[in-house]
Structure 1
Amino acid sequence: MRALLVRDVMTRSVVTVSPDLGYKQIADLLVDMGVSAVPVVGDDRKVIGVVSEADLLHKVEFNGAEVHAGLFERRRSRLAKEKAAGETARDLMTAPAMTIAAGVPLTRAARLMEQHEVKRLPVLDEDGCLIGIVARRDLLRRYLRTDADIQADVVDGVLLGVLWLDPLEVDVTVTDGHVTLRGKVDRRTTAQIAARLTRALDGVVGVTEELEWGFDDTTVQHRYSFDA
């Protein structure tokens, strides 16, 4: 029932460039390899930045324009014009690069991409060296698991492994990643925990919890808390 980690879905063969590679060579590489960005790495395999199509397009945007920033020019525009004058990966790259460790859950990777508005993250090992790259499309792999695999995780991982429930007492059906739980458990909190743990499994799109319970321990907990 282990959650998928970045190392499980990342692309291990990474196209990289050196800091001294020229503009034309970078542009050709992006087109030839069919990628929209490449990490810039040093001889020690440490990531020092990322060059994307957006970085290269600044030269097109400001082609023929004065690249010297005005005194009160906005910082973003000033940086764009500086990149427009750049000729190597070191000049063009966005730095420092937003990276992620290989052992981080996919949920953390998705959160970082959303927060920093990036489409991909270079993946680092324990020594901080580049070992892969994870893109937004890679995060969708957690939803490509079969219904049978998901059902097995619910039964073996949640019901038996965590809650110690008899699988014969809970019917688990999975259709296109949506899990439905039916049957009877001892307590209401048990039903709630079963649904929450199931919802966290890789591949689960949604959960319908239709479990009956013999004892509503939530009201007892609330009363004890109130009396205290």
Structure 2
Amino acid sequence: MQHRKVADVMTREVVAVTEETPFTEIVAALDDHGVRAVPVVDGDRRVVGIVTDADLLRKEEFRDIGTEGHPRFESRRHRAARAKAAATDAAGLMSAPVVTLEPGTPVAKAARTLAAHGHKQAPVVDGNGRPVGIVTRSDLLRLFLRSDDDTRDEIVREVIVRGLWQDPSRIDVRVDAGVVVLSGRLEARSLIPICLRLTAATEGVVDVVDRLSYDRDDGRPGAFPRA
């Protein structure tokens, strides 16, 4: 199966800033380009950090309470937020080191990476660490917007026929709002978990319901077939 890569879903128009870029220019860049984050690059255009709209909003968050804290009584996270509220340029606002992705990263792996770090977006960089795009959670979620018919066709073609070498007329594949129901008979019992795993890995699949049976129990010689 050909799974889509980050390059297939990322935004290719990269708006980058330098560490010296002033606060107001960063706000203008986000607004002008309709993005929620910008990578920060060094003199060689290699990504060294990222500034998000959440970083910029720290200034508003601390407007009424001030940016002077009490180090003995605040958490590291609160102290970092307060520092960003006092920042006037990208160097003070950015998060670093930054989590980056490569264009060839599978979308599923990219989603796991963002989730593991609690990020909503990440710069996409080339082999030299220079930005070539940016990908967000919403970009990754677009995979679930494909039609049920497209999802079903791929499961029949790539899983049943090419992956398992089974007769597609013996397997009923139904897809409703991304939920796949598999029924019918496979040649061997050992093929069922493989079929379920490959189906679940198909883009657009939300869940898989197993109603499969088999002709031969190849795990237990002489056992009866599954009804």
Normalised by the shorter chain, which TM-score bucket? 0.7 to 0.9
Mapping of 1:111-122 within 5 angstroms? 111-122=112-123
User: 1:92-136 CA deviation, whole Å, 9 max, x = no partner?
Assistant: 111111111111122222222222111111111233221111111
Please report how far the alpha carbon of residue 143 of structure 1 lies from its aligned counterpart in structure 2 after TM superposition.
1.2
Cα 1:88–1:182, aligned 2, differ >3 Å: closer, same or farther? same
Q: Which range is displaced more, 105-114 or 193-202?
A: 105-114
Matched residues in 2 for 1:81 and 1:180: separation? 51
2:6 equivalent in structure 1 = 6
1:197 equivalent in structure 2 = 198
> Scaled by the length of structure 1, what TM-score is found?
0.85
Is the Cα contact below 8 Å between 1:20 and 1:88 reproduced in 2? yes
> Scaled by the length of structure 2, what TM-score is found?
0.85
Letter of the 2:50 counterpart: V
Mapping of 1:1-228 within 5 angstroms? 1-63=1-63, 65=66, 67=68, 70=71, 73-219=74-220
Cα 1:175–1:66, aligned 2, differ >3 Å: closer, same or farther? closer
Matched residues in 2 for 1:93 and 1:163: separation? 49
Is the Cα contact below 8 Å between 2:185 and 2:214 reproduced in 1? yes
Matched residues in 2 for 1:90 and 1:126: separation? 24
Letter of the 1:20 counterpart: E
Cα 1:73–1:192, aligned 2, differ >3 Å: closer, same or farther? closer
Percent of paired sites with the same residue = 44
Cα 1:77–1:212, aligned 2, differ >3 Å: closer, same or farther? closer
Matched residues in 1 for 2:152 and 2:47: separation? 40
User: 1:176-226 CA deviation, whole Å, 9 max, x = no partner?
Assistant: 322222222221121222122111100112222222212223345xxxxxx
Letter of the 2:24 counterpart: K
Paired residues, what number?
220
Is the Cα contact below 8 Å between 2:144 and 2:203 reproduced in 1? yes
Bigger fraction of residues in helix: 1
Letter of the 2:204 counterpart: G
1:225 equivalent in structure 2 = none
Is the Cα contact below 8 Å between 1:69 and 1:81 reproduced in 2? no
Q: What is the RMSD computed on CA atoms of the aligned residues? A: 2.2
